[in-house]
Structures are given as structure tokens and as C-alpha cells.
Amino acid sequence: MTPSQERIIPTELRNEMSQCYLEYAMSVIVGRALPDARDGLKPVHRRILYAMYELGLTADRPFRKCARVVGEVLGKYHPHGDTAVYDALVRMAQLFSMRDPLINGHGNFGSIDNDPPAAMRYTECRLQALSTDALLQDIESDTVDFIDNFDGSQQEPMVLPSRIPQLLLNGSSGIAVGMATNIPPHNLGELVDGAIALIQNPDLTTAELMQYIPGPDFPTGGQILGRSGIKAAYEEGRGSITMRGVAEIETLSQPGRQDKEAIIVTELPYQSNKAAIIEKIAELVNDKKLEGISDIRDESDRTGMRIVIELRKDAYPRVVLNNLYKQTPLQMNFGANMLALVNGEPQHLNLKKFLEVFVEFRVETITRRTTYLLRKAQERDHILQGLLIALQDIEAVIRIIRSAADTPTAKANLTEHFGLSEAQTDAILQMQLRRLTALEAEKIQAEHEDLLAKITDYQDILARRERIEEIIQTELTQIKEKYATPRRTIIESAEGEIVDLDLIANEQAIILLTEQGYIKRMPVDTFGSQNRATRGKSAAKMKEDDGVEHFISCCDHDHLLFFSDRGVVYALNAYQIPIGSRTSRGTPLLQMLPISQAEKITTVLSVREFTEEDYLIMLTKQGNIKKTSLSAFSNIRSNGLIAISLAEEDQLRWVRLAKESDSIIIGSRLGMAIHFRASHEQLRPLGRATRGVKAMKLKPNDELISMDILPAQVIAEMKEEATEEDASIEEPTQEETLWILAITKGGYGKRVPITQFRLQKRAGKGLSAMKFRKQDCLAALKVVHADEELMLVTNRGIIIRQGTDAIPRQSRQATGVRVQRLDQDDAIAAVALVPPAEEEETGEDE
């Protein structure tokens, strides 16, 4: 048998292939593709950070060439291609890839347009302060194990002593053999709060931890739609998180040209390519798959991202934006797969398990650090004890040393005479003469006492886990105070997702909508009650050519119905309207509803429940009135629902809630008012796509300005079709509790008894409700209780809140008193009632 034949070992090919493939798979899983759950790093990232730390490239040192770092990593720790190392280094420095970058890059490190970074010979780098303080601190204090590098010439750490849950902070992605990981980044401050809460209460559930860590926080900002995907990822380790870019609808003003509506994109979903998104939009427009866009350009600069998508004049901005979300990467899913290495084995982890692994790792590192410090302190104290023994009889020490023939003899004689250890004897022999002074002796004694206190403290830390947990919390809090930043990604409720209203306070609010389409929500408490005839408070910062169009009061749990002049109704929840301050302009309504610039909202109505007993009373500009069941509007589509069919050039103007037994009062600009029942005999119920019937006969140059509802119990005893002679004018009595409030554009008002507005047949001329001063006219006609509060708003956004009792009771022929002092060229725009604090009533608008 030849020597070559002797080296052949017969084996099954299947077993050999299986064994070799398993070894390769585990090498990829453990050594390359998956991060360690303790420090959140893959080997290449860990080796880069440790190599930079060894080179002294800390945040307070100058930058060094990336090629120098790559060479150091390749030569000592990572025997792979330089491209892999440089790509990993670059990613740790990219602001759009890492929530909190670990490396500070100097030069071209790529862009969100997928531009490649400059070559490593041109770029420079150093560690971020966060890396030094949170990942590499205490690495020299025996906190982690070190192993031989690939050739046994160096030692490298198996894991970094991370003080933060870095894996959740910056996330990770990787494809191994037969498995993959994709962990989203999070907010540092929220992670710290969650970890501290878990330490204080280890029995917290994942759902309770989500109160501290509500969801991922991507470096590029954007929005997350819905919480179902987040909840699945946090509880089961897998979930699909819907990400959406941030886009606003703006009006572009160009000198000499007509204003244009445009969609402005300022933030993109995580890991999306800006240039690719713009190219995709342009391709869809050219293929006629995306309508309504006239131009697209990238105006991004160093101050931030700005993609301008100009719209055609006939386009519906909200519809175009929804199509952009549907057809382009402006909305995409993040497939969370929470896989990481735990004790060298890949495991799917939920949120609680992630934090538990981190906390246990911190307990281990602090225990090892404390043990190391205790050992060092004891060794140092042992030396000091020897020095103190020598200083007590320094003459004998000097005599023994001088009489010795050589150093070994001196060591042996000192050890024998004083009973010292070898280390103590060496310290005495190396002691300088200046240490013999009295001052130096006192310093040695003070250091000895200080070390004794530290040793006692270290021993107490090692004996009690609660001390270790206190240290973890303290270190986490310090890092949070120094490095935490506000959340960038907003978590929104997805359309159709069930929202827990118990988590949203049902507070009183007012909704203000301007003529140019800016809307905002403000707490009623923003405006305290004021005296009659005062000026009021500013409620909005508006442009010179803007004014208040609608003004209603409601509660945050109410449904808001927006009726447009085209007879279409749209729906939003009150709490979905962004809160604004008194001086803020508000949010463009075009961002919230699929309406065009030419379509105007004429009525905003708040509804508590969609019941069969309630009806919507709709009144058009030309005087057509219609009654439709409220239940017909319980399911309003996102693109709206037809509420009324309109004649040519007619517009839907007012909508109110009423019951069949209620009555309706309608006012005109010249001060006429008609009062008739809402019963089926006078006003039969009609379907949504119908026109209605005539409501009131108007004088020339007159127009309708208001409509309100009187509850049934008030009109139960009123005369039906009383003659003009029967309608004698009676003085108001103190017993009256319900009144007709008349407010003029000029700021004058009065309360008139209900009894002075007799019931009539529909389509009549009505009765005179008010006499005017100079060129004044009626602004609002409302039904009010004596103990209610009302809010008046002017065209310039000045609001006054006052009780109805402050407005005097007068007859129909009176001119009223001043209820609000107005600036020159200002006028009353709308009147709204403040809902009671306990009973949530429907708010109404003008």
C-alpha cells in the first residue's frame, strides 16, 4: 500500500457534506451575520470599535484616516476583505442608518440617495463619545472575556461591556444560513426608561413595557401607522411595521403666477432611497398610473430634506398623496425579525427578553468589574501595609539594607525581620527617600484608610444584588441625561385600527377652521370667561387675507362631520385634529381630508353617536332644506359620502342635528326669522342623494345666514299658526330658561324669548328678529340656555368667552347691546356654545 493510500479515510459522503455544511452554517451564524444580544454587535463591528479604541481614536482626539483603521482591523482581528470592513465602518458613521452613530465620520460617507462613500484613503474617522462611554468603558477592568485572534498573536474581546441595550438602540440586520435578523432602532431615552422599569419591577409584561418603549424610532424620522405590527414584534419576535414618510400639503406662491398646491415631503421611511422614490414617482406619472402631478423636484440641502411635488389645478391633494403612499416607497413595511445570539445560540426574543438579557449582562459585568477593583484595592492596600510597617521602624530597615551584600539578601533579611511578603519587600526596596518625610507618611496612611473604605464598599456590592441594580440604574440615567435625544418617528393610528378611547382624555375643546383651510384644536380652558363688551383674546395667527370660517365646541371623543359646498360629507375624530396654541396658524385641512383647493367646507358638526332617532337637517344657500336620518352617515368612506343633491350654482351651507319632535328656526342677513316644526308632516325624511324642499321666502337682496334647532319640550305648548295679532309682544320674564340669541356682525346682541317666534308653516317669510344700527346685519341666530356660556370669534381670530346671562333680555324690535368690542374693519364671524363639563353635548358652528 502506497503512502498516499494510507492517508485515505473512507467515509459517507452524506455525513461529510452534512457535517461540513453545519460547520459552515454555524460559522456564518455566530461569526458573521447575527449580533450578540448583550452588546448588539456583530464581530466585524466589535473589532472595528475595539481597534479604534486601541489606536486611541476617542472623541477628544484628532481624526485618523479610515484606511489606517481598516488596516489595523484586517491585520489584527478580521482576516477578510477590506471592503467588508470599510462598509461596516461607514454604516456605523451614517446619520441616516444609525439612530445614534457609533463612529464620527469626516468626509463623504454616502447619502440617503444611495451615493457611495469616498474611498477609505480620503475619509477620516474617530469614535463617538457615546461609544467610549457606553460600549468601551471598563473594558480593561476584566469585565469581559478575551480570546485569541485568528493567528494567536493578539487578544480580542468576545463582547463589549455595553452599558446600554445597543442592539435595540441602533438595530441590526443580517442574513445567515437558514435564518435572518432585522431589528429596528429605538430611542435611547425610552430604552433607558424601560430597562429601569424592568429592574424595579421584574414582573412587568411586554404590554406594560410598551408604555415606556412605545415603538421603534428611526433615524430618518417618518411615521409608523398603527401599533399592531409593533405589538406583534415586541410580544412574538416577528411583526410587520408600516412606515410612512412625512408629507405636507402647501400652497406655493409664485410672483406673477397663480398659486399652486404642492405636496412637500420632508421625511422618508427608514432605509428608503430618495433618488429612487423620485424616479419611481416620475415613472408612474409618465405611465399615466399617477394622476394630478404637474412637476416634481428635489430641493433638499444641508438644512434638510425637501421633495416638492407640484399638483395640477384640478387635483385633489389628499387623493394624490394617498396614491403616492399606495404606489411608491413613500410607504413601506419593516419586517421586524427579533433574532439574536444568546449564549452563542440564535434565539427569537421579545421586548422583555431583550431587556432581561441586557440587565443580566450588566449584572455580570458590574460583578466582574467590582471583583477586579476589589482585587486591585486589596493588592494596593497590602503594599501600603508593608510600607507602614517599614515606616514605623525605618532605622532598622535602613540598617538591614545597608548591611546586606546584595538585593536578594536584603529581601530575605527584611522578610525574616518584619514578616513581610515578597511584594511588600519589593515595594520597600523601591521606595524613594522622599517617602520618608512625615508628610509622605501621612499620605500613605490616608490612602490606606481610603482603600479600606473602598474595599468594604466593594464587598457590600458583591454581597447584595440590589446594590448592583442601583449602579445599573445610575449609569443608565447618566447616559440618558448626556446622550438621549427627542423621538423622531411619530406613531399614528392606522385607518380602521381600533383606538382605545380610555387612553385619550375626553376633554372639552374648540375647533377653529379658517377661510384658507387651516384647522386646529384648542382646549376650552385656553379662554377664560370675560366680561361683556370687552375685546377678547387672539385665537389664531392668520395671514392678512385669511379669516375664521368655522368655529365649534365639542369633546375629544366626538366624531366631526365636515360638509362641503358640493354636498359631500367627510369624517374625522376630534382627537385627530392637531392641538394648536392660541398663536399658531393650524394644520392645512388638505392634509387631513381628500378635498381640492376649490372645494370649501361650509359646516363642521360634532356627533356623539349615530342613532336612528336623530336626523340631519341640511339647508342650502338657495333655501332648500332636507331631513335625513343620522344613521345613514355612520360609515363615511375615507374619500367622503354624498349628503345632498344640489341644483346648479347651489351650495350646502348649514347642517344641524335634530329629532322629529324638534323645531327649526332660520335667520336671514336682514334680520328675518322663520320658526317651523321638524315633523314628518312639515319635513318628511329623504335619502342622501335628494335635493329637499323650500325653507323660507326671502326679500330682495336678502340671504340666509343661520339655522338652529329648538328642543321638543320647549315648543310643546306653543300655538300653531298664530295670527300676527295673536303674536303680541310680551316682556321677558325671569322664569324663561331658553332664549333665541341674536348676534350682529357689528358685535351687538340680545336674548329674545322663544314665545315671540310663533310656529309657522314652512316656506313663509317669517318675522322680524332684530332692528339694526347703521349698516349692521345679523351674524348668528342661536338657541341658548340662560346658564350657558358662549364663545364669539371675529374674522381676525379674536375670541371672547362669556355667559349668556351677561347679555340682556329684549324683545324682537330691540337693537341689542354691545357684546364684544371690535377693532376697526373687524366683524363677528361665528358663535359657538361651550359644552358642559360633565354632559357632552353636540357642538355647533356657523
Q: What is the pLDDT of residues 428-463, one digit of tens each?
A: 888 877 776 777 788 888 999 999 999 999 999 999
Q: Indicate where the chain has its CATH 3.90.199.10 domain(s).
A: 34-161
* 513 or 359, which is more confident: 359
Q: Which of 108-117, 533-542, 598-607 has the highest mean pLDDT?
A: 108-117
The answer, yes or no, to whether residue 21 has pLDDT greater than 80, is: no
The answer, yes or no, to whether residue 146 has pLDDT greater than 60, is: yes
Burial of 506 from C-beta contacts in 10 A (0-12 / 13-18 / 19+):
middle
The pLDDT value recorded for residue 502 is 60
Single-letter amino acid, residue 281:
I
CATH 3.90.199.10 applies to domain 34-161: yes
The answer, yes or no, to whether residue 727 has pLDDT greater than 80, is: no
Element holding 229 (H helix, E strand): helix 228-236
The answer, yes or no, to whether residue 811 has pLDDT greater than 80, is: yes
Residue among 231, 243, 236, 235 at smallest CA distance from 272 = 243
Please state, for a pLDDT cut of 90, what percent of the chain lies above it. Answer: 48
The answer, yes or no, to whether residue 838 has pLDDT greater than 50, is: no
Burial of 841 from C-beta contacts in 10 A (0-12 / 13-18 / 19+):
middle
Cell of 708: 338652529
The pLDDT value recorded for residue 532 is 61
Q: How far apart are the first and last CA of the chain?
A: 107
The pLDDT value recorded for residue 31 is 66
> Cell 479604541 belongs to which residue?
53
| CATH, domain range 246-329 | 3.30.1360.40
In this prediction, residue 547 has a pLDDT band, given cuts at 50, 70 and 90, of low
Burial of 525 from C-beta contacts in 10 A (0-12 / 13-18 / 19+):
exposed
| Cβ atoms of 553 and 835 closer than 8 Å | yes
Pick the CATH number of 501-833 from 3.30.1360.70, 2.30.40.10, 3.40.50.1100, 2.120.10.90: 2.120.10.90
The pLDDT value recorded for residue 733 is 47
- The CATH class for the domain spanning 163-239+335-497 reads mainly alpha
The pLDDT value recorded for residue 27 is 67
The answer, yes or no, to whether residue 846 has pLDDT greater than 70, is: no
Cα–Cα distance list, 149 to 32, 85, 779 (Å): 15, 16, 84
* 33 or 208, which is more confident: 208
Beta strands in 25-137 (DSSP E): 64-65, 103-106, 124-127
Least confident stretch, 185-194, 212-221, 543-552: 543-552
What backbone phi and psi angles, to 5 degrees, belong to 584? -85, 155
What backbone phi and psi angles, to 5 degrees, belong to 451? -65, -35
The answer, yes or no, to whether residue 548 has pLDDT greater than 90, is: no
Can you tell me whether residue 411 is helix, strand or coil?
A: helix
Residues 109-125: what's their mean pLDDT?
Answer: 94
The answer, yes or no, to whether residue 57 has pLDDT greater than 90, is: yes
Residues 636-660: what's their mean pLDDT?
Answer: 89
Give 461's Cβ-side CA count (13 Å radius): 23
| Cβ atoms of 793 and 512 closer than 8 Å | yes
Q: Indicate where the chain has its CATH 2.120.10.90 domain(s).
A: 501-833
**CA max distance for the chain:** 141
Spatial distance between the Cα atoms of 404 and 389, rounded to a whole number of angstroms: 19
In this prediction, residue 497 has a pLDDT band, given cuts at 50, 70 and 90, of low
Q: Indicate where the chain has its CATH 3.30.1360.40 domain(s).
A: 246-329
Strand 568-573, strand 641-642: pairing: antiparallel
In this prediction, residue 790 has a pLDDT band, given cuts at 50, 70 and 90, of confident
Cell of 589: 385641512
Spatial distance between the Cα atoms of 263 and 327, rounded to a whole number of angstroms: 15
Cell of 819: 357684546
The pLDDT value recorded for residue 498 is 53
Spatial distance between the Cα atoms of 251 and 517, rounded to a whole number of angstroms: 11
Cell of 402: 545597608
The answer, yes or no, to whether residue 723 has pLDDT greater than 70, is: no
Spatial distance between the Cα atoms of 675 and 758, rounded to a whole number of angstroms: 7
Residues 279-294: what's their mean pLDDT?
Answer: 92
The pLDDT value recorded for residue 18 is 76
Residues 534-551: what's their mean pLDDT?
Answer: 62
Spatial distance between the Cα atoms of 644 and 624, rounded to a whole number of angstroms: 10
- Residues annotated as catalytic are 122
Residues 611-629: what's their mean pLDDT?
Answer: 91
The pLDDT value recorded for residue 729 is 39
Q: Indicate where the chain has its CATH 1.10.268.10 domain(s).
A: 163-239+335-497
What is the pTM for the complete model shown?
A: 0.74
The answer, yes or no, to whether residue 420 has pLDDT greater than 90, is: no
The answer, yes or no, to whether residue 728 has pLDDT greater than 50, is: no
Beta strands in 158-301 (DSSP E): 172-175, 180-183, 223-225, 238-244, 246-252, 260-267, 293-298
> Cell 429605538 belongs to which residue?
186
Burial of 179 from C-beta contacts in 10 A (0-12 / 13-18 / 19+):
middle
Q: What is the mean pLDDT of the chain?
A: 86
> Cell 398603527 belongs to which residue?
226
- The string of DSSP letters for 426-484 reads HHHHH--GGGGSHHHHHHHHHHHHHHHHHHHHHHHHHH-HHHHHHHHHHHHHHHHHHH-
Please state, for a pLDDT cut of 70, what percent of the chain lies above it. Answer: 90
Instruction: Write the pLDDT tens digit of every residue in 152-179.
Output: 899 999 999 999 999 999 999 988 777 8
The pLDDT value recorded for residue 597 is 76
The answer, yes or no, to whether residue 419 has pLDDT greater than 90, is: no
Residue among 706, 788, 794, 705 at smallest CA distance from 739 = 788
In this prediction, residue 389 has a pLDDT band, given cuts at 50, 70 and 90, of confident
The pLDDT value recorded for residue 449 is 92
